[in-house]
Amino acid sequence: MDAFGKYKTVVSARATDKKILKKSQDGGIVSAAFIYGLENGLLDGVIVADNAGEFKAVPKVATTPEEVLEAAGTKYTVCPNISVLKSAVREYALEKVGIVGTPCQIRAVRKLMKYPVGFRHTDSKIALTIGIFCMENFPYMGLKTIVEEHCGVKMEDVVKMDIGKGKFWVYTKWGETKAIKLKETHPYEQIACHVCTDYTAELADISTGSVGSPDGWSTVFVRTTKGEEFFNKMVEDGYLEIKPIEEVKPGLGLVEKLALTKKEKNTKEIEHRKELGLPVPY
Amino acid sequence: MVKVAHVQLSSCCGCLVSLADTYEKLLDILNSIELVYCQTLMDVREIPDNLDIILVEGSVCLDDHHALELAEEVRKKAKILVALGACAATGGVTRFCRGNQMSKPVHSSFSPLTEVVKCDLAIPGCPPSPEVIVNVITAALNGDAEYLQPFAELAEKGEACGCDLLYKVVNKSLCMGCGTCAAACPTRAIEMLDGRPNVLKELCIKCGACSVQCPRIRFPKLIEEIE
């Protein structure tokens, strides 16, 4: 089974801008790429997941580096990013849109680019897609239950959440850190995630996630010609520093392991659903 | 040269406008086909025989024998019969109109073309986007059956609408909340509530754009081929 899908290069990277690193989840790749795109005219607007307070995620069209920074950081809940794509083109009059999304959202973007049934003059305005590694997602109330019931932290006190080293971590504004085993969060997962076999956002121009790289760095897959041009320029202009993936710990092996785990487990679930006569995406 | 005709039944011309909205691509299309019949654009009164592709826009008024005859005529004359747009594909506003309009003669007397004669392809949407019309015509010219498969399936079934999202996706725990349906909707009938589509029945015109666009109902393998 092919773990990663098609890609040109894979590296470990992080943003060079301290402001980005301070706000970002890991290496700040998405923020750095979008800010680079906006500052250098490669993008004139981007769709990001903003924190609407208490980690409620809402899609936002950002047209300035400040707005991108405000939305930095992972929100472990559903955010319908594609829902604002048409308004980004129509209402913000954007010609070169960047969009970040989970693997399933990137697949949705690819579908609308190939089959633009209801996307009049929109698909051609998508300039860059960045996908983020994703094992599963939580509906907001599920996330709230994890944080409040299991971690014992009020949602309003949370400044950052993270998944890593087999645990779900919550950081509070009082400087506390709480963690529970990832296993405890499984019942709150979005069931729809169980038929998805894409861990590394295989259809994005660039995909990124913390897994495989050291703390504060991200693993980056550059997949398409468009993504490659953008990424190379960004590195040349000093927005990112990169290291060969072979030289970092824990390395690509861990990404492969997780990607294959998701594929195998969810392929089984798809087969199971088929046996029961339940529909699956086909 | 491939012979193409555009035929209008009960419709608003929006699908034709959408076809014309392809701008410079329209010239490419017109260069690669021979447009032999199109009442809005040219002065030909009779649909010629033996055509390769006939695009039909609009639904069939069952109270009007001319419309029924026309439906049979296009079926006989076309190698590939395309139901273009929601009215021809699923019924759209001619059956499910909104905004306190009085339809004439009566709502119930309209049927989409797909229910009256066998169509080879159906393109949903009100109107379908210019890009998808170009894609379908190009794929039909090139005999790209793989690309056309979802449109062929819709022509069989003749139904697609916002309800599909609730029955086939949300109700089957398949919705992951990407929001594609909300963006695809031409009437803004879909809002995303807690990461799930909420279809406002007051606004939905059952054009099918949302459900056809949903990656969790249909995800043709060829989408995975990225450059």
Model confidence pLDDT, tens digit, residues A17-44? 999 999 999 999 999 999 999 999 999 9
Q: What is the pLDDT of residue A174?
A: 95
State whether B14 and B109 are in the same domain. Answer: yes
Angstrom distance (rounded) from CA A229 to CA A43: 13
- Categorize the per-residue pLDDT at B29 as very low, low, confident or very high, splitting at 50, 70 and 90: confident
Are A68 and A35 spatial neighbours (Cβ–Cβ below 8 Å)?
A: yes
Measure the CA–CA gap between B149 and B144, rounded to whole angstroms.
Answer: 9
Categorize the per-residue pLDDT at A11 as very low, low, confident or very high, splitting at 50, 70 and 90. Answer: very high
- pLDDT-derived band of residue B22, with 50, 70 and 90 as boundaries? confident
Tell me the C-alpha distance between A32 and A20, whole Å: 7
User: pLDDT tens for residues B106-122?
Assistant: 666 889 999 999 999 99
Could you tell me if A114 lies within 8 Å of chain B, comparing CB atoms? yes
> Which domain, by its residues, includes A220?
9-135+196-276
For residue B135, the distance in angstroms to the closest alpha carbon of chain A comes to 8
> Quick check: A137 pLDDT over 90?
yes
Q: What is the mean pLDDT of chain A?
A: 96
Distance CA B30, CA B65 (A): 32
Count of domains in chain B?
2
Q: Which two tokens stand for residue A165?
A: 């080293």
The confidence score (pLDDT) of residue B96 equals: 78
Number of domains in chain A: 2
Tell me: do A81 and A180 sit in the same domain. Answer: no
pTM: 0.95
Same domain, B138 and B180: no
Quick check: A232 contacting B, CB < 8 Å? no
Which band of pLDDT confidence, cut at 50, 70 and 90, is reported for residue A106? Answer: very high
pLDDT band at B98 (very low <50, low <70, confident <90, very high): low
pLDDT reported for residue B201: 86
Instruction: Inspect the interface and report whether the beta carbons of A121 and B222 lie closer than 8 Å.
Output: no
Rounded-to-integer distance, Cα B53 and Cα B30, Å: 13
Same domain, A156 and A126: no
Start-to-end CA distance of chain B, whole Å, equals 30
Q: Among all residues of chain B, which has the CA nearest to that of A112?
A: B213
Q: Mark whether B24 and B68 lie in a shared domain.
A: yes
Assess whether A37 and A118 both reside in one domain. yes
Inter-chain CB proximity A104 and B18 less than 8 Å? no
The verdict on A184 and A219 lying in the same domain is no
A193 in reach of chain B (CB within 8 A): yes
Number of Cβ pairs closer than 8 Å across A and B? 154
Indicate whether A32 and A120 sit together in one domain: yes
A54 and A90 together in one domain: yes
Can you give the pLDDT at residue B107? 63
Residue A228 lies in a domain: yes
| A40-59 residues touching B, CB cutoff 8 A | 59
Position A3 in a domain: no
In this structure, the answer to whether residues A18 and A124 fall within a common structural domain is: yes
Would you say residue A66 lies in a domain?
Answer: yes
Last residue of a domain, one of B116, B132, B157: B157
Output the domain CATH number for residue B183.
Answer: 3.30.70.20
Q: Per the CB < 8 Å rule, is B223 touching A114? A: yes
Structural domain boundaries enclosing B135: 2-157
Is B41 in the same domain as B132? Answer: yes
Give the contacts of A136 (CB within 8 A, at least 6 positions apart): A189, A190, A193, A194
Taking only the tens place, the pLDDT of each residue in B149-184 is 999 999 999 889 999 999 999 999 999 999 999 999
Range in B65-74, B89-98, B158-167 the model is least confident about: B89-98
Q: Pick from B81, B89, B83: which is nearest to B209 by CA?
A: B89
Higher pLDDT, B201 or A187: A187
Query: What is the average per-residue pLDDT within A232-257?
Result: 97
B111, B130, B157 — which closes off a domain?
Answer: B157
Q: What's the rounded mean pLDDT across residues B54-81?
A: 95
The CA distance from A18 to the nearest CA of chain B, in Å, is 31
Count other C-beta atoms under 10 Å from residue A237's C-beta. 12
Q: Are B52 and B79 in contact (CB under 8 A)?
A: yes
A208 and A179 assigned to the same domain: no
Each residue's pLDDT tens digit, A170-207: 999 999 999 999 999 999 999 999 999 999 999 999 99
With beta carbons less than 8 A apart as the criterion, state whether A19 and A114 touch. Answer: no
Looking at residue B102, its pLDDT comes to 64
Q: Does B177 touch chain A (CB under 8 A)?
A: yes
| pLDDT at residue number A236 | 97
Q: Which residues of B66-97 are buried (b: 16+ CB within 10 A; e: fewer)?
A: ebbebbebbbebbebbbbbbbbbbbbbbbbbe
Q: Which of B105, B131, B157 is the last residue of a domain?
A: B157
B180 and B102 in a common domain? no
Pair (A149, A167) in one structural domain: yes
